[in-house]
Amino acid sequence: MIPYGRQDITQDDIDTVVDVLRSDYLTQGPKVPEFEKSIQDYCGVAHALAVNSATSALHVACLALNLGPGDEVWTSPITFVASANCARHCGANVEFVDIDPRTYNLSTEALEDKLKDRKNSGGTLPSIVIPVHFGGQSCDMVAIRALSDEFGFRIIEDASHAIGGRYRDKTIGSCRYSDITVFSFHPVKIVTTAEGGVATTENAALAQKMALLRNNGVTRDPALMTRPADGQWYYEQLVLGYNYRMTDIQAALGCSQMQRLDEKVSIRHQIANRYDAELAALPLVLPFREDFSYSAFHLYVVLLEEALASNRRAVFESLRERGIGVNVHYIPVHTQPYFRRLGFQTGDYPYAEDYYARALSIPLFPTLTREQQDEVIAALTSALS
């Protein structure tokens, strides 16, 4: 089976990890700061905090922005559940904003309408909006930032799909238009640490809060302590935190992977360009590309034309039978049983639901060979004829 996504591990990656296994530190050694520095330099951002997953990064990001009970977080229904769960972990409520049917990103028009409705009716405005850069293509951050200035919410970019991508003249992760940006390093993503995540920010106070929260609220920094140290062993717990630390084994893999980030994204573009050309005649909607975005191309999603929507399952199964590991990203989060129990219903976000009925993610990863691409193209062509 050709999977829809797969890690790309080189001998250099393996050697770097083995070196850590032979070193003094498996965790809390030099590799985590080195990995953080590589992300800072790449993104052109002041702070990068490595944690054990993007899910954890989203959680500490929300906590650092003081999210709590009574607050609302708004995000896209077409995302992985973690983008919404971070709010629930802080006791806050989730609301969704329907997607733009061209890009599958949260629609800035729908966001503006919903904000105005809430304001006019005296309802709750969001404390945080979490735009998700779906498939690696940036949301329209200038527009979202303008709304944040008008309506007073904070912004966390869920860039789990988007490291190596750009928005206008900025690298994703620069936080030019947001408070915090979060990356995932799960193996199917652009760069991997097996499990891992990073939160970037320009704000030193937010970085300091997130650093405490990932380490059980504990600090060894005398500048932060409430009283003089009893001795060199001394540390203080200042807040209630978690163990969300990344290991040096993971960070070493990340450092090595970061060196080939641009190359990985450029290969993803070459494959996407080939799909664009070879699939153009099929009854499919191919990925739309915004002028302002250079996508990281985490996903290549095709939509069956509307008339074929009822065949999606058959097309999916026929492709799987031919060894093409297609997948569906994502089941709209508001239709998950957990969110239904909170009151969401089918019909709440029609563009997201229409998208879900017709979407297929086809294989796209840097080591996908030309012959495998041929197989994908041939299988899709025959499944749709």
Cα(348)–Cα(28) distance, rounded to whole angstroms?
45
- Determine how many CB atoms are found less than 10 A away from the CB of residue 103: 21
Nearer to ligand PLP, 111 or 132 (CB): 132
Nearer to ligand PLP, 38 or 53 (CB): 53
Could you tell me the smallest distance in angstroms from the CB atom of residue 86 to ligand PLP? Answer: 9
Could you tell me the smallest distance in angstroms from the CB atom of residue 130 to ligand PLP? Answer: 9
Q: Is 160 in the site for ligand PLP (CB under 6 A)?
A: yes
Could you tell me the smallest distance in angstroms from the CB atom of residue 8 to ligand PLP? Answer: 17
Cα(246)–Cα(14) distance, rounded to whole angstroms?
18
Number of residues this chain uses to bind ligand PLP (CB under 6 A): 14
Could you tell me the smallest distance in angstroms from the CB atom of residue 244 to ligand PLP? Answer: 11
Among 47, 114, 166, 186, binds ligand PLP (CB under 6 A): 186
Could you tell me the smallest distance in angstroms from the CB atom of residue 191 to ligand PLP? Answer: 11
Q: Is 296 in the site for ligand PLP (CB under 6 A)?
A: no
Instruction: Report the SS3 class of residue 192.
Output: coil
Q: What single string gives the DSSP state of each residue in 97-115?
A: -PBPTTT-SBPHHHHHHHH
Provide the mask over 111-150, with x wherever binding to ligand PLP is found by CB under 6 A and - wherever it is not: ---------------------x------------------
Among 7, 55, 85, 127, binds ligand PLP (CB under 6 A): 55
Q: Is 184 in the site for ligand PLP (CB under 6 A)?
A: yes
Cα(350)–Cα(73) distance, rounded to whole angstroms?
20
Structure tokens at 366: 């840097």
Binders of ligand PLP among residues 161 to 180 (CB under 6 A) are 161
Name the phi and psi angles at 71, rounded to 5: -85, 160
Contact region for ligand PLP (CB under 6 A) — 2-10, 48-56, 215-223, 335-343?
Answer: 48-56
Could you tell me the smallest distance in angstroms from the CB atom of residue 186 to ligand PLP? Answer: 4
- Determine how many CB atoms are found less than 10 A away from the CB of residue 250: 25
Cα(368)–Cα(271) distance, rounded to whole angstroms?
8
Q: Identify the DSSP state of 345.
A: -
Nearer to ligand PLP, 159 or 315 (CB): 159
Cα(294)–Cα(169) distance, rounded to whole angstroms?
10
Q: At what angle do helices 141-151 and 108-120 cross, to 10 degrees?
A: 10
Name the phi and psi angles at 358, rounded to 5: -120, 0
Residues in contact with ligand PLP by the rule CB under 6 A: 53-55, 79-80, 82-83, 132, 158, 160-161, 184, 186, 197
